[in-house]
Amino acid sequence: MSQGIGARIPVPILKYDVFLSFRGEDTRHFFTTKLHARLQQKGLAAFIDNERLMRGDVISQGLLRAIEESLVSVVILSENYASSTWCLDELQKIVEMRKESGRAIFPVFYAVDPSEVRHQRGSFEVAFAKHEEAYKGNREKVRRWRDALADVANLSGWHSREYNNDAELIQAIVEAVWINLRPRVPSTFHILQGVDTQVEDFDKEARIGLNRYYNKEIKCVIQ
């Protein structure tokens, strides 16, 4: 029986709020690094792979495990994203987790049009022409990559060209992720309004507790 990328056996403990999937050469040194820092400042545990440039093209089991251990994923789709089999394997795993466990995916179309991603046009078409040639003996693998891209491109997300600058785009992403992850705080805690630090600390602790409680169901308990 065939299995998907990194098929899971026991359910891992959730360790991260957010997993960042990105093409390093496109966005690492400006957009992705700033997004990661802003998520951390908001009190969200964001996973970013800082070592991928030092390794080969084969995705590691540790990275697949990090996807399983993250509540949501932010996928930064840029011009050269599809040229990396590493990124495509990541994306396939992220989509699998959404279908299996309801994990949220937040796509960011960074200087690319969603239709280019959805239909694999432009730089995505060029990348897949190379993949088709390289994986002649494994057409199914390429098909799964194509399907994963199409699935993510059909989700609501952000188009960088609709924002004046990266700072505005990052703020919009962070706020949306925060709202998705923030638990429903009981009304008895409304007295904490106006004390942002205390509210955020409480929200984070409550979310961690809920994650641990519902972990066996592998569900994102905060919608």
Percent residues over pLDDT 70 in the chain: 72
Is the predicted pLDDT of residue 53 greater than 80, yes or no? Answer: no
Question: Dmax of the chain from CA atoms?
Answer: 62
Domain residue limits at 83: 16-181
Which CATH number covers residue 44? 3.40.50.10140
The residue among 49 and 183 whose pLDDT is bigger is 49
> Is 156 among the domain residues?
yes
Measured between alpha carbons, how far is 65 from 8 in angstroms, rounded to an integer?
Answer: 9
Q: In the chain, count H helices and then E strands.
A: 9, 5
C-alpha closest to that of 105 among 47, 178, 156? 156
Which residue, among 95, 126, 101, has the nearest Cα to 112 in the 3D structure?
126
In a domain, 1, yes or no: no
Active site residue 90: yes
Does some domain include residue 210? no
Please work out, in degrees rounded to the nearest 5, the angle formed at the alpha carbon of residue 75 by the alpha carbons of 69 and 80.
130
> Residue 195: inside a domain, yes or no?
no
Tell whether 131 is covered by a domain.
Answer: yes
Q: pLDDT band for position 28 (50/70/90)?
A: confident
| Cα–Cα distance, 151 to 138 (Å, whole number) | 21
**Choice among 90, 116, 125, 175 that is catalytic:** 90
Question: What length is written for the chain?
Answer: 223
Tell me whether strands 46-47 and 16-21 are parallel, antiparallel or unpaired. Answer: parallel
Which residues neighbour 153 within 8 Å (Cβ) at sequence distance 6 or greater? 77, 107, 114, 115, 117, 118
Number of domains in the chain: 1
| 218 falls within a domain | no
Beta-sheet pairing, 70-77 with 158-159: unpaired
- Alpha-carbon distance 70 to 85, whole Å? 21
- Residue 79 domain-assigned? yes
Q: 98-153, pLDDT tens digit by residue?
A: 999 999 999 999 999 999 999 999 999 999 999 999 999 999 999 999 999 999 99
Residue 49 lies in a domain: yes
